[in-house]
Amino acid sequence: MGIFSRSKQPMHLGKYPMEKIKRVDEPIRKITSDVPRVPQRANFFMRARFGDLGPKPKQEFPRFVAKYPLSKAHAKAKATELPIHDGEVTPDKAPIPDSLQERTNHIKALIQFLDADMVGICEIPEYAWYSHDLDGNPTEPRHKYAIGMLID
């Protein structure tokens, strides 16, 4: 959508008129609650990292992000910020709207402004969390909601 969009649609609604899509009370596909949580070690990319997929994927894993110029530039910029992430936390808090709907609209508008094609916010089901981290330590869910972004 960007700064110079000619759309008259509110920013938080995004580029596409998703509000026009027919909604149903019950989903067409239902995921039941008996989906097991899996360890992070079962993640396909982690399997490559640890050599489960053979020597070639293990060898290529370290350059996974770096093989795309834009990703490499982003990784370099992010790496320069790492030293300042452990700084002092300010005691002052920015004003936050009381309305959850208004907060949702602000988050969606920001993500649309940053040029995502679609944004959604939903509750995270239990099975979406890894059961164990890479070191084998059990993990617990840390958040109730997720922000999903679609970027073409």
Query: Per-domain residue ranges for the chain?
Result: 39-91, 100-152
pLDDT of 133 above 80: yes
Cβ count near 106 (within 10 Å): 15
CA distance 146 to 152: 19
Residue 132's DSSP bridge partners are 138
pLDDT for the residue numbered 73: 78
CA distance 35 to 129: 11
pLDDT of 66 above 80: no
What three-state secondary structure class fits 124?
coil
**Of 52, 71, 49, 72, nearest to 62 (Cα)?**
49
Q: Which residue has the tokens 């989903």?
A: 27
What would the pLDDT profile of 7-21 be if each residue is shown by its tens digit?
677 777 777 777 788
Do residues 117 and 14 lie in contact, with contact meaning Cβ atoms separated by under 8 Å? yes
Cβ count near 4 (within 10 Å): 5
The answer for residues whose C-beta is within 8 angstroms of residue 17's C-beta and 6 or more apart is 9
| Model confidence band, residue 4 (pLDDT cutoffs 50, 70, 90) | very low
pLDDT of 58 above 70: yes
CA distance 68 to 105: 32
CA distance 47 to 40: 9
What is the percent of the chain with per-residue pLDDT over 70, rounded to a whole number?
Answer: 92
